[in-house]
Amino acid sequence: MMRAGDGLQPTSRGARVRLSENERTAVRGPFADPRQLIAGFWIWECASLQEAIDWVKRCPVPAGREVEIEIRQIYEAADFGDALTPELQQAEEKLRGQVEAQQRAAAKPAAPPAAAEAAKLFVNLPVKDVKRSIEFFGKLGYRFNPQFTDDKAACMVIGEDNYAMLVSAPFFETFTPKPIADAKQSTEALVSLSAPSRADVDRIVETALAAGASRSVDAQDHGFMYERSFADLDGHIWAYYWMDPAHLQS
């Protein structure tokens, strides 16, 4: 279970404080030696070190790069044995209670709905052949983020904050205890995307069909909205629609 995790800003925005018995000195970044830098952290609650190793092995690796992740345990009360006297344990619990109370007091109220608009959306879809899927969607004009694309998964950029992760079936299975649905036999989801015009809807769908997709349902023309869809190489259904701007303003 993941408890916390964050990336850290560049060392040019940070500092190091050195402490000795009689002196306290601060040195501002940046710091040059990459071997002494930490890019970020995760805090996981795991039953064993091996479970933590198994989780880390699932982390995506940017194409062409090598990443090293160090695993360390956090001290708990039981680790100190008899050295942690009842008095010290009571003081520890009191301090934790004070910190938690301060955190609750400083917590901001629930964010307004506008905050959700800043969230990034990742739709994860299992595919049989990542490379073939990249070629297929590339013909539709989509590009892929190389930083999060390798032989296990491809990050397809749909919009500024919207992405589709095309994940190889074996790798996809590591993220869910449930069996993967065969999208050619059952409907798992409908991915709907807007298009600038009716002509763009037709162009995208016709390009997909020519690239090997199959027709999903007939075009739906509601006057104020026009929609067509197709099933991709793995059976996932993609629907493209155009809506009359005048209707939205009415």
pLDDT in tens, 110-165: 555 544 445 778 899 999 999 999 999 999 999 999 988 999 999 999 988 899 99
Q: Which two tokens stand for residue 24?
A: 């306290």
**Upper half-sphere CA count for residue 62 (Cβ side, 13 Å):** 7
Query: Please, which residues have CB within 8 angstroms of residue 95's CB and are 6 or more apart in sequence?
Result: none
- Domain locations in the chain as residue ranges: 1-11+36-82, 119-180, 183-250
| CA gap 100, 21 in Å, rounded | 30
Mean of the pLDDT values across residues 188-211? 91
Q: 183-250: same fold as 119-180?
A: yes
Q: Which CATH architecture has domain 183-250?
A: Roll (3.10)
Q: Using one digit for the tens of pLDDT, what is the confidence trace for 88-110?
A: 788 878 887 888 888 777 776 65
Q: What percent of the chain has pLDDT over 90?
A: 34
Strand segments (E) across the chain: 2-7, 15-19, 24-28, 40-44, 121-127, 143-144, 153-159, 162-168, 190-194, 214-215, 220-221, 225-231, 237-243
The CATH label, of 3.30.460.10, 3.40.50.12280, 3.30.70.1290, 3.10.180.10, for the domain at 119-180 is 3.10.180.10
Yes or no: say if 69 and 60 are a contact pair by the CB < 8 Å rule. Answer: no
Q: Is the peptide bond before 34 cis (omega within 30 degrees of 0)?
A: no
